[in-house]
A = this chain, B = another copy of it.
Amino acid sequence: MSIFAPNEYSVGVTKREQILNKSLHLFAERGIQATPMSLIVAESGVATGTIYHHFKSKQEIIEALYLEFKKELGKAFHHSFKQDQSFYQQFESIWRGVFEFYLREPLKFRFSQQVTHSHYIDEELKQEGLSHYQVFFDFFEAGMKKGEFVQIDLHLALELVHGGVVSLANLHLKEKINNLELNIKEAMQFAWRGITKTKSDQHE
């Protein structure tokens, strides 16, 4: 590839990035196991050896993508969080920040869903990712201390709230949602009601 005749990939995109981009695409659309290295080679326009120059193995590509995803998800949590707001406003910021990240990066979202529920990433690596959620943990603990939120296991709370974001993103990306804005509000308030204390409708 001459520098005088840059091809379609050469404009500021390194081979490493080409490989990651195409891998993400293929993993998300076809599934990880249905994406052989040879296909990544063919699609990303590099040679077999070049992939193995940048990544030790297929597993390492998966892990690189996973870590990148977790980092960006962490950012989505972090950036959308605004101090000096009401708990509700903070909650909404986080919820929307993550949801919008998923809609903005549907490939990364789908890839993460696959990886989370498969055996591609070992528990250890999954644990590492937890640090990105610190913002949520801090937010939720503060709410609990103030008596605004129910007393609940932090991890469980994260899963319950995050699960709702994922569910709506999933349904929306599958085009099963008609009125998106309305359902965003519903899903969000579902979680908000879930975590906040109410006096009346407690049972037992």
Contacts and interface: CB of A to CB of B under 8 A. Distances in A.
Interface in A21-50: 30-34
A122 B194 CA distance: 33
A146 interface: no
B191 A119 contact: no
A30 B122 CA distance: 11
Interface residues of A, number: 52
Nearest to A113: B117
A153 interface: yes
**How many copies of the polypeptide does the oligomer hold?**
4
A34 B151 CA distance: 40
A150 B186 contact: yes
A82 to B, nearest CB: 16
Interface string A151-178: 1110110011001101110110010111
Interface stretch (A3-11, A65-73, A99-107, A196-204): A196-204
Residue from A34, A113, A114, A159 with most neighbouring chain B CB atoms (10 Å)? A159
A151 B179 CA distance: 13
A120 B88 CA distance: 40
A134 interface: no
Nearest to A191: B194
Interface of A: 30-34, 88, 92, 113-114, 116-120, 123, 150-153, 155-156, 159-160, 163-164, 166-168, 170-171, 174, 176-178, 183, 185-187, 189-196, 198, 200-204
